[in-house]
Each structure stands twice: as C-alpha cells, then as structure tokens.
Amino acid sequence: MAGSTMAGMVDVVCFHHALGLTRGVRAFADRLREAGHTVHTPDLFEGRLFDTVEEGVAHAQGLGFSTVLERGREAVAGLPEALVTAGFSLGVLPAQLVAQTRPGVRGAVLMESFVPPSEFGSWPEGVPVQVHGMTDDPFFAGDGDLAAARDFGAEGVTEVELFTYPGDVHLFADSSLATYDEAAAGLMVDRVLGFLERVG
C-alpha cells in the first residue's frame, strides 16, 4: 500500500489486542482510513481469534512475547519511516517497541495499556504519545498501566496526552465485542484523529 502524501495524512500501523485481529479492530482502522490516513493492520496471531483476553494472552505466552514483539518489528520493516504506531491492549507492546526504537516515528497512540518506557530503553525526544483507557478497567487501571502513564506524563520527557473514560471494561473500543462502549469509543476516535492531524 502506498504511503500517505497529502499534508496532515500519515501512515499508521495498528496492532491488535489479545483477541486477535477482530472485525472491531479492522473497523477502527477503517475509521482512520475514512479520514484519509493509510492504516496497516498486521496480524500478529496469523489468523487466530480468541473469545477472552485470558485465552489470547495465554496464546501470546505460548508463542513467547519476544516472538510477538519481533512480529511487530517485522511488520513495519517495509513501511515509511514517518510512521505513527498504535496498539490496543497487548498490541501496545509492539506499538511502544517500534515507537521507541525505530527512527522517524511521528507519534504513538496507546489504547487500554501502557508499559513503562524503561522496558524498551528510553522514550525518543520529541515523539508525542496519546494514552486512552477506562478509569476502572481491571487491566488498565488495576494492573498499574494508568498509574505508569500518569508518572510518565509527569516526567515531562515528551508530550503526553492521557485520556480516561468512565467505566470498568476492557476493550471498550472494539465494536465487535460485548464490551463495546459507543460513546467512549467515538470520543476516543475523535481524539486520535485530532492527534494524527497534528503530527501529520
């Protein structure tokens, strides 16, 4: 797929969550495409889909998280240097890895997860990031991702926009799942589109 050429349009790579490359993840990518962006959706699970986060995470553990990360790195090898990375939940791992280690990345959109940047070295200077998640999501808030994102924003290393949404579900932005929250997902998409316009 050709890279974006219009001003304000960017190439985005969007990594799926632990349930796999679902219709909802594809629909999110389509929303960004409708705004004129080029969006790549690599399938890190090679077609496998799962019914629960626990089953998907178990599959990722079986593959090895290093394999998942390497598949993410390989997925961007042929993409334009000026790239925005995005990830849902488990997909935040490769999204952050690429954002932190690949020169030329314009920004990162991290949804429903956040990993302390020290896991992948240091955050590159001048690369902005958006983080989205529900305030009472047992994975995002309960596992410490929300606190880590707040701490990172307080460090002032880069421009960090942290957006929280009322609710206690995980994967609220996947329209193919029972956890979908249309209002919160719509607001998140609007904010992501604004971010892409700024970094484009």
Tens of pLDDT along 45-85? Answer: 999 999 999 999 999 999 999 999 999 999 999 999 899 99
Confidence bin at 7 (pLDDT 50/70/90): low
Six-digit token pair at 97? 């890895």
pLDDT per residue as tens digits for the range 93-151 = 999 999 999 999 999 999 999 999 999 999 999 999 999 999 999 999 999 999 999 99
pLDDT value at 6 more than 70: no
pLDDT value at 89 more than 80: yes
Sheet holding 129-134, edge to edge: 38-40, 11-15, 83-88, 107-111, 129-134, 160-165
Reduced to 3 DSSP states, what percent helix, strand and coil does the chain have, rounded to the nearest 5?
40, 15, 45
pLDDT per residue as tens digits for the range 32-42 = 999 999 999 99
Span 11-192: which CATH code?
Answer: 3.40.50.1820
The pLDDT, as a whole number, for residue 4 is 41
The pLDDT, as a whole number, for residue 1 is 34
Q: Cα–Cα distance between 8 and 83 in angstroms, integer?
A: 12
CA-CA-CA-CA torsion sign (89, 93, 98, 100): positive
Residue range 149-159: mean pLDDT, rounded? 91
Radius of gyration of the chain (CA): 15
pLDDT value at 25 more than 50: yes
User: What does the H/E/C string look like for 99-123?
Assistant: HHHCCCCCEEEEECCCCCHHHHCCC
Each domain of the chain, given as residue ranges in start order, spans 11-192
